[in-house]
Structure 1
């Protein structure tokens, strides 16, 4: 066999092997994000709304809550205050300005707290409860199981039904944001329309 023929066969073999090589599987591809990146992206998605307010509606109330304080009232979220590692989001229910959600970025994820105030600005007995993320979540969805401090607070105030609460925040940029609270046998969800900003409401009580 001549040298030229051997070289031609070698080149042909390499071309065939290259053509037969399969495309990389999903497991072979590098991860899109690592560490705290999904939490950071979620945080940034909310920060992009800073200064804006949006009206929401109850989309799930199962089972229905008779005489619920939210029924028939304007529900407004206001991304009012944005800092490097904290976002304050007052949640207004009609003329009730007692609720502010506090989203804080930590080294391992995000913490959600519910700041509850009286009209005079004083803290409600049930205030600063919530939880910390226990997984990476995504850029559009973060989940906050109730933490030990909040469980103790609920038990001290005879709110044992809340010791298994899980809160979820979602955002689909330019379309929808959601606040959801679940526990065994109970699911409550509000969705806010991000396509139609509304005039910002007054400052929440105590702020």
Structure 2
């Protein structure tokens, strides 16, 4: 009878040891953000449910397609780990920026859809942060999967893309840079506007 507690204790110890690797694995998969990245994410999330008008502030001739059109960004869906921000260009509701927390930092992807909701051939491209960044600006160099997708679709000029997202109390900025290319649009956070239509392919 005296040996029973010892066996029970031994069994419990074995169960604890067995569970430890699972807990460690789960911990490793949890988002691990630097303080600036946490603050950056939280600042964008603080505008959840609001939409803002923007304008192109770069002077690249390749951006003429955006000229004269209403540019609206909408912080539409927010969770503890992901933000979905549709970018409306006039009557084109095909673009949604997706910012996600990962085990390495932050990830930016571009969700492109057709009007019927189906995915564009070039979609979910982007990259991950490669540094801590700041609480007002994060950069996302293109990842390998996106490079492969661009090459597959003949967009070889885009394989060195770097995307930049910045936020201050008054302005949200989205910027794309590569050699001979600089696109930037600024949105006025001080003046919310009417909510735009549902982006294509989203409920």
- Give TM class, smaller chain: 0.7 to 0.9
Contact 1:55 1:75 in 2 (8 A): yes
CA RMSD of aligned residues (A): 1.3
> What stretches of structure 1 move > 3 A for 4+ residues in a row?
none
Quote how far apart the aligned CAs of 1:47 are: 0.3
Q: Within 5 Å, which residues of 2 pair with 1:173-188?
A: 173=169, 175-188=170-183
- Aligned position for 2:74: 78
Contact 2:94 2:199 in 1 (8 A): yes
* 5+ long unaligned stretches in structure 1: 1-33
Bigger fraction of residues in helix? 2
- Aligned position for 1:126: 122
| Secondary structure of the corresponding residue to residue 151 of structure 2 | helix
Q: How many residues align?
A: 171
- Aligned position for 2:3: none
Larger radius of gyration: 1
The alignment status of 1:97 with 2:93, answered yes or no, reads: yes
- Aligned position for 1:137: 133
How high is the TM-score relative to the length of structure 2?
0.82
* 5+ long unaligned stretches in structure 2: 1-31
- Aligned position for 1:163: 159
Mapped to 2, the partners of 1:102 and 1:168 lie a distance apart of 13
- Aligned position for 2:36: 38
Quote how far apart the aligned CAs of 1:69 are: 2.4
Quote how far apart the aligned CAs of 1:35 are: 6.0
Mapped to 2, the partners of 1:35 and 1:143 lie a distance apart of 14
How high is the TM-score relative to the length of structure 1?
0.80
Quote how far apart the aligned CAs of 1:146 are: 0.4
Do the aligned partners of residues 35 and 112 (structure 1) sit closer, same or farther apart at CA in structure 2, a change above 3 Å counting? closer
Quote how far apart the aligned CAs of 1:96 are: 0.4
Mapped to 2, the partners of 1:35 and 1:152 lie a distance apart of 27
